[in-house]
Amino acid sequence: MDNEIRINKYISMSGYCSRRAADALVEEGRVTVDGVIATAGTKVQAGGQVKIDGVEIRPVEDKKIYAFYKPVGYISSLSDEQGEGIAKFIPDGMRLFPVGRLDKESEGLMLLTNDGELMNEILNAAGGHEKEYIVTTRQEITEDFLKKMEQGVLITNGATGKKIITAPCRTMKISDRKFRITIIQGLNRQIRRMCGYFGYHVEELVRIRIMNVSVKGMKPGEIKELSGDVVRELRNML
């Protein structure tokens, strides 16, 4: 570890949460460094003691990344505050956190890790990391609909409340009511809202790939550690 690390990076390196979430913890006064309440500019010296809500944390040495097939009906948080979370699928003793979200009505691939820095890099929207989905709609799919989806759709960014046009994406028709879509953004319920703009109702949404990681061969509720080759390729893509 460097001799001096910013507090949000230190918390992220512990696998506790992302840097953005760490900033919120600091702002709420829940973080101390060597017994002193931390501020946004606080740096941790080598050997320093960092606590969150009075519990000491340390950077993770054995970093792990897992693929997880989230079933329908579960929120992508570890918490059950908004419904049943995914914590029940994580074996006891494994401190893993979800990278990104997948809405309750959707299923498919999520990444879980104890590597907060990797989490930050994957969540960085500027990176343009691909996510691939299979979508089943109530209405019959037309080539015109897919072409308009690819060009970008005007939706509201839930984080800012502003109208934005989604980034260009790729689509491919699979059957009368099913298509494949690859996007590089991760806006809240993005694909459902994109389809809704054109009057299409999504009946089933399955995420099958994030970057080089695929859900192929996995069953709902299954969790598996990524192989060394897959992890190396993933880090190289970042």
Handedness of CA 225, 228, 229, 234 (dihedral sign): positive
Instruction: Examine the pLDDT at 154 and tell me if it is beyond 60.
Output: yes
**Mean local confidence (pLDDT), 40-50:** 91
pLDDT by residue (tens digit) across 126-146?
A: 567 899 999 999 999 999 999
Task: Indicate if 62 belongs to the active site.
Answer: no
pLDDT by residue (tens digit) across 207-238?
A: 999 999 999 999 999 999 999 899 889 888 87
Tokens of 208: 């099958």
Position with higher pLDDT, 133 vs 41 = 133
Strand, coil or helix: what is 87?
Answer: helix
Q: Are 92 and 133 in contact (CB under 8 A)?
A: no
CA–CA distance, 69 with 207 (Å, rounded to integer): 9
Tokens of 15: 């696998």
Strand 202-210 versus strand 107-113 pairing type? parallel
What share of the chain has pLDDT > 90, as a percent?
A: 60
Long-range contacts of 48-52 (CB under 8 A, 24+ apart): 50/7, 50/10, 50/11, 50/14, 52/11, 52/16, 52/25
Q: How far is CA 125 from the centre of its chain?
A: 11
pTM of the shown model: 0.80
Q: Which of 23, 80, 103, 176 is catalytic?
A: 103
DSSP structure class, residue 58: -
Instruction: Examine the pLDDT at 37 and tell me if it is beyond 80.
Output: yes
pLDDT by residue (tens digit) across 90-136?
A: 887 777 888 888 999 999 999 998 887 777 777 775 567 899 999 99
What is the enclosing helix (H) or strand (E) of 236? helix 228-237
Instruction: Examine the pLDDT at 9 and tell me if it is beyond 70.
Output: yes
CA–CA distance, 213 with 231 (Å, rounded to integer): 9
Instruction: Examine the pLDDT at 50 and tell me if it is beyond 80.
Output: yes
CA–CA distance, 129 with 113 (Å, rounded to integer): 17
User: How would you classify residue 83: left for phi > 0, otherwise alpha for psi between -120 and 50, otherwise beta?
Assistant: left
Strand 55-57 versus strand 213-214 pairing type? unpaired
Strand, coil or helix: what is 168?
Answer: coil
